[in-house]
Amino acid sequence: MAGVCRRREHREAIQANGLLLREGDGETRTQIPVTEELAAGQSYRLLVVLVKSFDTETVAKNLPSRIDTQTPVLTLQNGLGNAEALAAHLAPEQILAGTTTFGALREAPGEVRLTGRGECEIGAWSPAGERYLPLTQELFQRAGVECRQTPNVATALWKKLAINAAINPLTAILRVRNGELLRREGVAQIMGMVAEEVWRVAARHRIALPTPPELREEVLHVCQLTAANRSSMLRDMEEGRRTEIDAINGAVARLGLERGVLTPVNSTLTGLIHALSDTARGLPEAGPERRMETK
C-alpha cells in the first residue's frame, strides 16, 4: 500500500512518523510510503482517487502515463462528473465508482480522526469492468472496511448526491455541524426541497431514486447519524479553500438545465456558496456564468 499526498506538511509528517489514526479513545500508527506524485512504471492492484472533484481532470490526464490498462481505478469522491473525467482519459472498463459513508477529519499533519464508521458501495462504470469488483471488495474487507457491490452504481452516486446537496451547503452557510440543521426552523423543509429537485433531475436522466419523501427521510437520518460531523464543505469554507459546490448542487442545476428541469433551490445554494467562498478567499465577484459551471 502506498499513497500520494500533495500537501507538503501532511506528506512530510507521514514520512517521518507514519499516519496516526484516532478512533474513539484508541490510536493506531501505520507506516505507509507516501510521495508527491504517482510513480510511473509500477504495477498496482487498485488505484483509489480521493482528490477534490475540481482536481479530478488533472489527475485523470496524468494517469495514462503512470499506470497500465489493467489497473482498476476507483473514485470515491463527492459529487458527479468524476467517473466521466477518468473515463475520458482511461479505458472505460478500468473505471469503478462508488460511495462511502465513512467520516474523517485531519486534526493535524499526519493525524486523522475517524468521525464515523460506515461502508463503501462500489460498482463498475461499464459492464467490462465488473471483473475488477470481487478483488476490490476483497481488498477493502481485508482492510476492515465493509464494502458491497451494486449493479447500478449511478443510482448510488445520485442518492449520495441528494444527501450531500441537502446537507453540505447549508452547514457551510450556517456554519454549523450536521446535527444542528435538525434544530434550525425551516431548514428541514429546505433540505426536502433540495432532495426533490435532485429526484426530478435524476428522473429526467433516467436514474431511478427513492421517492422525494423517502429521500427527505434519508437526509434527516444521515443528519442524525452524523450529528457531530463538520461537513467537508464547512471545513473548506472555514479554511478559505475552494469548495466542491460545482460538482454537487451546481451539477444538479446544470443537469437540470440540460433537460428543462427548474432547480431554484440548488441554483440559489450554489450562488450563495460561491459568493461566501469568493469572499473568504479574497477573490473578485464572478459573473452568473461561473455559477452554473461544473468542474
Whether residue 105 contacts residue 112, with contact meaning beta carbons closer than 8 Å, is answered with yes
Residue 8 identity (one-letter amino acid)? R
CA angle 59, 201, 185 (to 5 degrees): 100
Set 52, 61, 159, 160: catalytic member: 160
The total of other beta-carbon atoms located within 10 Å of residue 2's CB is 11
In 127-144, which positions are buried (b, 16+ CB within 10 angstroms) versus exposed (e)?
Answer: eebeebbeebbebbeeee
- What is the pairing mode between strands 73-75 and 19-23? unpaired
Q: Which three cell numbers stand for residue 109?
A: 499533519
Q: Is 160 a catalytic residue?
A: yes
Q: Which three cell numbers stand for residue 139?
A: 481488498
Q: Of 172, 174, 121, 183, which is closest to residue 146 (Cα–Cα)? A: 121
Bridge-partner residues for 29, per DSSP?
Answer: 20
Annotated catalytic residues are 160
